[in-house]
Amino acid sequence: MFVVRPARPADLDGLMSLAEKTGTGLTTLPAHKPFLQQKIEESQTAFSSDLSEAEKQSYLLVLEDMETGYICGTSALIVGIGLDKPFYSYRILHQTQLSHEPQKRVDTELLQLSNDFLGAVEIATLFIDPDYRRHKLGKLLSKARYMLMAAHMERFPDAVISELRGWVDKNHQSPFWDAIGRHFFGMDFAAADDINGRGNSQFISDLMPKFPIYTALLPESARSVIGRPHDSTIPAKTLLEKEGFRFSGAVDIFDGGPLMEVHKRGIWTCRKSVEGRLSGTVEGEGQDPTHLVANPSLEGFRVVLSNLVEGSEGVWLPHLAATALDVSVGSTLIYSPVDRIKGDTDKDLSDQKATNTGAAS
């Protein structure tokens, strides 16, 4: 049985081991122990704090193999990006110029440095150990964040974004960075990415060009990767699109990766999440789990993949799932399908058997 739960201090070594496997580009999970320790502490504060719209908060989750205790993945929600330091991106602008003599039309694309996503919540830091990329564990780790949002919708801003890793070559070199950033920062991509990953975005403000950049002046190698995700993040992009995310028209200033966006009420898992009570448990674990099931309490938040049976007075779970969630008969649960059901059009959610937790703010 695998469970997603809030990170705690004892997970530091496990997170460090994961960070060492990420390679270049996952800036929110650098292999830097003091930074990871700080992220755990910030997450513990977020899970135990009152609401504050004026402060940035980070919720860090881990995927644990309950049989071995091994930390095999992590994901996060960062609330209030840009409140403590600027969150920069390149907004893609389009400009049309006309000439009447001679008759000519020129369509131009520009990159404008912007800070458009102030206060939004970022879906971040999704990484799973390559040895555990099986049995829907990636979906569990990714969608657990939406279950947290569904359980506590009032804690999260309306705008939700996700910044995907941009394309780099087999030597971890970014054509986008080489064409723009290298000229202004005087360092290679890996060094700049590492500095930014540790939370120092001030150097971006100090050194990045303030005027729009005409993409026509960039080499084809750079133009071709604007908005292109890294090959390894294509499955993550597909998952985001299935949840309702769409390309925002902005890209990362380091590697040109796409920024995806959605309104929190448009996230499929949030809209499909319903509340119920645990009526009882049955022996066994079940095969091919159909639902995400969560203990919705803030400090006791936990999510598992499980089958369930809806009854007239609540739901029934396998005993192992209830144990992993730390719930007992009578406890409140929220649950949502893992995958879309054939024929599901999302047009009418009124047939849900319990209150849609994604509709309350």
Give the active site residues.
230
Give residue 1's identity as a one-letter amino acid code.
M
Q: How far apart are CA 267 and CA 171, in angstroms?
A: 36
Q: CA torsion angle for 341, 342, 346, 348 (degrees, to 10)? A: -90
In the block, residue with structure tokens 């970022």: 122
Q: Which of 20, 3, 13, 21 has its CA nearest to residue 61?
A: 3
Q: How far apart are CA 177 and CA 165, in angstroms?
A: 13
Residues in the chain: 361
* Tokens encoding 24: 């270049």
| C-alpha radius of gyration, the chain, whole number | 22
